Amino acid sequence: MLNYLEPLIESAVANVRLAKVTRRGVLGTTGAFALAAYAMPARAFDTYATGAASMEHGLVEDPMVFVSIDAEGTVTLVAHRSEMGTGSRTSIPMVMADEMEADWARVKIVQAPGDEPRYGNQDTDGSRSMRHHIQMARKIGGAVRTMLARAAAEQWGLDPAQVTVEMHEVKAPSGQSLGFGELAEAAMAQPVPAHEDIAYKSEDQFRYIGKGEVQITDLHDITTGNAIYGADVILPGMKCAVIARPPVVGGKALSFDATEALKVPGVESVHELPYASMPTQFAPLGGIAVVARNTWAATQGRDRLEIEWEAGPHGGYSSEPYMAEMIATSEQPGTVARDQGDFDAALAGAAKTFTGTYTQDHIAHIPMEPPAAIASYTAEGLEIWAPVQSPYTTRKDAAKALGLDIGQVTVNVTLLGGGFGRKSKADFVTEAALLSREVGAPVRVQWTREDDVKHSFYHTTSVERIDVALDESGKVTGWRHRSVAPSILSTFAPDEGNVLPLELAMGMTDLPFDLPNIRCEHGKALAHTRIGWFRSVSNIPHAWAIGSCVGELAHELGKDQKEMWLELIGAPRSLDLKQAGLSDDFWNYGEPMDEFPIETGRLANVLNVAADGIGYGQDLPEGEAIGLAVHRSFVSYVACAARVKVVEGRITVPEMHMAIDCGFAANPERIQSQLQGAAVMGMTVALHSGITFEDGAVIQSNYYDYDVVRSDNFPAVVTHIVPQPFSVHATGVGEPGVPPVSPAIANALFAATGERRRHLPMGTEA
């Protein structure tokens, strides 16, 4: 019996109640750090620049594209971002509805197909949904409310300023009122007002925004089994396919024999798909597809295929020697990506030095829903139903693979049973499209879990070496971070072993420490598998290394972790790019640096909030300790305070406090759920997630050797959201919770046991 169960549950209850009942509690937990709240202009909000405009197909802010109102008053809002669990399909329409004064109970959400020229960028990735669309959603909602007011005023012969709009009704001073449905036609015929001419709500007038009291859009369907995911669309005459893919990327079948497969009742045909070589981009890997009447027959058929594989150029990829090679590279000078001050001089003059090397295996996303997609190819074109993060990219890829015009391809977006970056890459959709054309019928391609584990676009494997120079008094005078990791770039362009500057800018070159001498370098590493992005991307290894190193320095110097962090972060300031030795156009998650600066005060604040929340500094029993880490990513600031407890030789994390400053919190309840999820996923990364290769192929296959945190060992998370007014721009939420979790756990484990782990995953045994 694990005796941490009681506090775990108690804590969970307290937290959920905070979210559900006393909403102020969620925000109030950080009250000491609150800015003076809600002194806001009464009318137009101040717009600000984001990176949205520079995304492909940018931003569309036309209410006519996103809003329709029928005669009964049902307001239909288009969700153009994919829903993979972050809540964007709820939160963006919720912002529109609030500014519109629509009654949420009378709002219907429809999902946009992949059509960026019409809807603007749809690439649901990079924690951008709210960051890029909160202004757009307010503008659209405000415009429609203004149009409704003007239409009513016209009917009544009043000045629009005399009418009010409240909960699906427009009211005249006389008490007369007209419903949204009655006004729909006239309102939609009004010209769309300019931003300056819209009287936006003040923040205290928000009904849904910032409240966290709205249920997610698909809640009823999810709880009754009626929600539609990638494999859930049923088309007449649809076939089911599973595919035997080359175990090694770039490999192919030398020969195959389908005789036995074709004997399986229900198996109808077997097809060889074209093979991909690196850089694959998002092209399918190829292989032998078994098409059948149902999924069971198809998998049975696949089991009976006899295939002789040729490994191809990457058959020599094995994780152990590869890791050793990366470590050797990290010991040599690399290409300099940031050079502030003179690290070499600091090292030469150091009284003491410290070196830490932190490594990580690959990670596979394993979304709960393995890849699955449906395609129907006919003379008219190609129609797709798929759980994809970037439906317009999917459409382009499928069109290209089949030699179709993009206008002949439709991509309908289902719900995603998790994405985490995997479903940005629609190789599985193109497979369905190719097979539908082959067999002349609609085809559903189903990936098994083994397929998913063995053929992902993996999070990179990495070596991060940090060398620190210290003076006599124990002050850090120099910091050199060398990163060696195969790059995402290798999936898109011929590989020269170099990383993209933006990978380094995810938590390495943007290091916000107040130190005179900082150098960042990267060494070459050639990729031998498809490198993709996993929730929070390169921030994971960078935060892991930096956060672990801070913990080690604290120990070396006899300081407590919090003191060490705060000393390194230094005084509140915005990172000065010039002084840091970084270029003016330094990558900042695509956002303008002047609008989304790197603010050390906010970084230190969330650390304090999390540490205070968990009671850092308290005396804990033997085998139990708290670890701290903080990291800025996706222009948000997140700290994790984790309490580790060793129970019968097993690492448990009974409690975690997650503190986030994500600017204005549009939907605190979904922010809380994202942080609860990030805590669990971060803990899975810390303890479990290791994909390794032998002779080019992935060793792991399913949950038995690639497990995740489960309900018998999840952290009870208390979420702290730093309250900010709308003028402090909304930032990212989906990803930034993950990076600080693994170093916080490692620091806690060290404090609890005296053992420092420097490799991810750390394993579950203490």
Partner 1 sequence: MTTILLNGVERDFDEDPSMPLLWAIRDVAGLTGTKYGCGAGLCGACTVHVEGKAVRACQTSLSAVEGKEVTTIEGLDPEGNHPVQVAWRDLNVPQCGFCQPGQIMQAAAFLGETPKPSDEEILAAMSGNVCRCGCYQRIVEAVRHASTGI
Among positions 275-304, residues that touch partner 1 (CB under 8 A) are 293-297, 299
Measured CA distances, 162 to 94, 171, 177, 186, 284 (Å): 26, 9, 12, 18, 60
Instruction: Please tell me whether residue 679 adopts helix, strand or coil conformation.
Output: helix
By rule CB under 8 A, what string of x and - marks binding of each residue 358-397 to partner 1? --------xxxxx---------------------------
Residues 390-429 that bind ligand FES (CB under 6 A): 418
By rule CB under 6 A, what string of x and - marks binding of each residue 103-142 to ligand FES? ----------------------------------------
Q: Which is nearer to ligand FES, 137 or 413 (CB)?
A: 413
Q: CB of residue 368 vs ligand FES: minimum separation in angstroms?
A: 4
Cα–Cα dist 516/12, whole Å: 43
Token digits of residue 348: 């030469």
Does 229 engage in binding with partner 1 (CB under 8 A)? yes
Q: Which is nearer to partner 1, 253 or 374 (CB)?
A: 374
Instruction: Please tell me whether residue 107 adopts helix, strand or coil conformation.
Output: strand
Q: Which of 51, 85, 246, 547 binds partner 1 (CB under 8 A)?
A: 85
Does 39 engage in binding with ligand FES (CB under 6 A)? no
Q: Which is nearer to ligand FES, 51 or 737 (CB)?
A: 737
Cα–Cα dist 143/158, whole Å: 19
Q: CB of residue 85 vs partner 1: minimum separation in angstroms?
A: 3
Q: Which of 166, 368, 496, 763 binds ligand FES (CB under 6 A)?
A: 368
Give the DSSP letter of residue 734: T
E strands present in 216-332: 239-244, 252-257, 267-273, 287-292, 306-310
Q: Which of 62, 103, 154, 218 binds partner 1 (CB under 8 A)?
A: 218
By rule CB under 6 A, what string of x and - marks binding of each residue 573-602 to ligand FES? ------------------------------
CA dihedral 198, 203, 205, 207 (to 10 degrees): 110
Token digits of residue 736: 């930034």
Q: CB of residue 703 vs ligand FES: minimum separation in angstroms?
A: 8
Does 532 engage in binding with ligand FES (CB under 6 A)? no
CA diameter of the chain: 83
Q: In sequence order, which residues have a C-beta less than 8 Å from that of residue 309 and are 6 or more positions away?
A: 246, 247, 248, 251, 252, 253, 254
Pick from partner 1, ligand FES, none: which does 220 bind, CB < 5 to 8 A by kind?
A: partner 1
Tell me if 242 sits within 8 A of 371, measured CB to CB. no
Q: Which of 142, 371, 417, 478 binds partner 1 (CB under 8 A)?
A: 417
Q: CB of residue 244 vs partner 1: minimum separation in angstroms?
A: 16
E strands present in 414-470: 443-446, 462-470
Q: Which of 50, 86, 608, 633 binds partner 1 (CB under 8 A)?
A: 86
Q: CB of residue 678 vs ligand FES: minimum separation in angstroms?
A: 13
Instruction: Please tell me whether residue 311 adopts helix, strand or coil conformation.
Output: coil
Does 712 engage in binding with partner 1 (CB under 8 A)? yes
Using CB atoms within 10 A of its CB, is residue 694 exposed (0-12), middle (13-18) or buried (19+)? exposed
Does 222 engage in binding with partner 1 (CB under 8 A)? yes
Q: Which is nearer to partner 1, 88 or 490 (CB)?
A: 88
Tracing tokens 């992949």 back to the chain, one arrives at 114
Q: Which of 94, 231, 484, 662 binds partner 1 (CB under 8 A)?
A: 231
Residues 650-679 that bind partner 1 (CB under 8 A): 669, 673-674, 676-679
Give the DSSP letter of residue 765: B
Q: Which three-class secondary structure string do you get for 563-614?
A: HHHHHHHCCCCECCHHHHCCCCCCCCCCCCCCCCCCEHHHHHHHHHHHHHHH
Q: Which is nearer to partner 1, 561 or 667 (CB)?
A: 667
Tell me if 120 sits within 8 A of 57, measured CB to CB. yes
Using CB atoms within 10 A of its CB, is residue 574 exposed (0-12), middle (13-18) or buried (19+)? middle
Cα–Cα dist 564/549, whole Å: 10
Pick from partner 1, ligand FES, none: which does 262 bind, CB < 5 to 8 A by kind?
A: none
Q: CB of residue 420 vs partner 1: minimum separation in angstroms?
A: 8
Q: Which is nearer to partner 1, 62 or 450 (CB)?
A: 450
Pick from ligand FES, partner 1, none: which does 13 bind, CB < 5 to 8 A by kind?
A: partner 1
Does 219 engage in binding with ligand FES (CB under 6 A)? no
Residues 502-561 that bind partner 1 (CB under 8 A): none
First to last CA, the chain: 17
Does 15 engage in binding with partner 1 (CB under 8 A)? yes
Residues 705-744 that bind ligand FES (CB under 6 A): none
Pick from ligand FES, partner 1, none: which does 376 bind, CB < 5 to 8 A by kind?
A: none
- Number of residues interacting with ligand FES: please give it, by CB under 6 A: 3
Q: Which is nearer to ligand FES, 85 or 210 (CB)?
A: 85
Q: CB of residue 535 vs ligand FES: minimum separation in angstroms?
A: 13
By rule CB under 6 A, what string of x and - marks binding of each residue 672-711 to ligand FES? ----------------------------------------
Residues 27-56 that bind partner 1 (CB under 8 A): none
Q: How many helices (H) and strands (E) does the chain have?
A: 22, 27
Cα–Cα dist 146/137, whole Å: 14
Angle 392-491-368 from CA coordinates, rounded to 5°: 65
Q: CB of residue 85 vs ligand FES: minimum separation in angstroms?
A: 5
Q: Which is nearer to partner 1, 218 or 272 (CB)?
A: 218
Tell me if 287 sits within 8 A of 236, measured CB to CB. no
Q: Which is nearer to ligand FES, 84 or 214 (CB)?
A: 84
Please give the order of strands across the beta sheet that includes 107-111: 67-69, 75-79, 107-111
Does 263 engage in binding with partner 1 (CB under 8 A)? no
Q: What is the CA radius of gyration of the chain?
A: 27
Tracing tokens 């500094």 back to the chain, one arrives at 617
Token digits of residue 476: 């850090």
Does 85 engage in binding with ligand FES (CB under 6 A)? yes
Tell me if 94 sits within 8 A of 205, measured CB to CB. no
Cα–Cα dist 277/254, whole Å: 15
By rule CB under 8 A, what string of x and - marks binding of each residue 427-456 to partner 1? -------------------x-xx-------
Q: CB of residue 112 vs ligand FES: minimum separation in angstroms?
A: 22
Give the DSSP letter of residue 514: -
Token digits of residue 283: 């092209």
Q: Which is nearer to ligand FES, 5 or 219 (CB)?
A: 219
**By the criterion CB under 6 A, which residues form the site for ligand FES?**
85, 368, 418
